[in-house]
Chain A
Amino acid sequence: MLRVLVLLGLAAVMVNGDQYCCSAEDRHIVQDQWDHIWTDTESSQVRVTLGREILLALAKEYAEVNDLFKDVDIAHPEGGKFSAHALRIINAIDFNINLLDDPEALDAALDHLADQHKVRTGVKKVHFQKIGEILNNVLIHVLDNYNALAWKACFKGILGKISSKLQA
C-alpha cells in the first residue's frame, strides 16, 4: 500500500512537474501585469501596435517569416489585413494568459493553436523561441513593473506547447 502511495505521489509530481515553472504566484503576476495593457478603452490601438512590433521584429530576425505572413500582407504592416492579424496574435496571447488559472482548458486551447500552426509549412520552433525573446523585450518597455522571471516561466510552457507539433 505504502509503495503504491509513494508511486502515486511520484507520478503526481511528474505530472505536475512543469507547473512549478509557472507557479500560481507567477500566473497572478503575469495576469495582473497584462491587465495594465488591456483595460484601457483605446487598448485596441496599443494591442495592434504591440502585435505588429512583435511580428515585424520576428521577420527582421528571420527573413523567411515574411513569406509565411504574405497572405496577411506583411508588406503593408499598417494596412487593414496585417493590423487585424496583429490583433489576432495579441488576442491569442491574451486568451492564454486568461486561461492560466484553468490548466485543462489552457491545454486544450494550446493544443488547438499547435494544430493551427502545424499545417503552416515553414513555421519553426526557433520562431517561437524568438517570439519569447521579443515579447520579453517589448514588455520591458511597456510595463512599469515587468517581472521577467514570472513571464519567462509561464511563456516557456505556452510557446513550447504551441510549437510542440512542428517538425523543425
Chain B
Amino acid sequence: MKVLVFVVALMAVALADEECDTLTRLKVKAQWIEAYSHGAARHAFAQAIWRAMFKLSPDSLDLFKRVHASKEADHPEFIAHANRVLAGLDISISLLDQPEALKAELEHLQDQHKERHIPDEYYENFGKALLHVLPAQLGRCWDKEAWSHCYDFIVHGIRGH
C-alpha cells in the first residue's frame, strides 16, 4: 500500500508541468473562484484588469478597436468582450485538474488567437495586470508565485510556444 502511494505521488510529480504542479493548480483554482466572483463584483474585477492592461500597454487598445476598447474600458461592447476573455480564462483555470479537457481548451484558444499576431509583451502585461488586481480581490489569501506559474502555463498553451 505504502509503495503504491509512493508510486502515485512520484507519478504526480512527474506529470506536473514544471512549477504549476498539481497542488499549485488546486490552489489557483480555489483562489480564482473567490476572485472571479459574480455579478457586479465580477464586472468591476474584469474592468480593473483591462484598465491596468491598457495602462501597461496603451498600444494594445488598437487590437480591440472592433469591440470599442478605451482606457476606461466602459463601453458595453467592451464590457461584453472583457467578460468573454475572463470566461475563457475561467474555463482554462477550472480545467487545470482535468488535463485532457484542458489540452482541448488551450488548443481551442490557440486557434482563436493565432491569426491575431499578438506580441509576447501583451501576454506578459495582461499577466501583470491580472496579478496586480488579484490581491485587491483576495487580500492576504493569495499566492503570487502559484499564480505566476500557472498563468505562464496557460499562456504557453494559448501561444503554443
Contact = CB atoms under 8 A, between A and B. Distances in A.
Interface centre among B43, B79, B94, B95 (most CB of A within 10 A): B94
Contact of A43 (B33, B39, B105): B33
A79 interface: yes
A89 B61 CA distance: 28
Interface in A61-112: 79-81, 83-85, 87-88, 91-92, 94-95, 98-99, 101-102, 104-109, 112
A84 B101 contact: yes
Nearest to A34: B38
A48 B101 contact: yes
Nearest to B79: A105
A69 B81 CA distance: 25
Size band of the interface chain B makes with A: 20 to 34
Size band of the interface chain A makes with B: 20 to 34
B98 A83 contact: yes
B102 interface: yes
Nearest to A103: B76
Contacts of A112: 80-81, 84
Given A44-B95, A108-B77, A95 B101 contact: no
A48 B79 CA distance: 25
A104 B145 CA distance: 37
Contacts of B95: 44, 83-84, 87
B83 A44 contact: no
Interface in B27-46: 29-30, 33, 38-40, 42-43
Contacts of B99: 80
Contact of B98 (A35, A48, A88, A109): A48
Given A43-B33, A98-B42, A112-B81, 7 more contacts: A35-B38, A45-B98, A80-B103, A87-B91, A91-B87, A95-B87, A101-B39
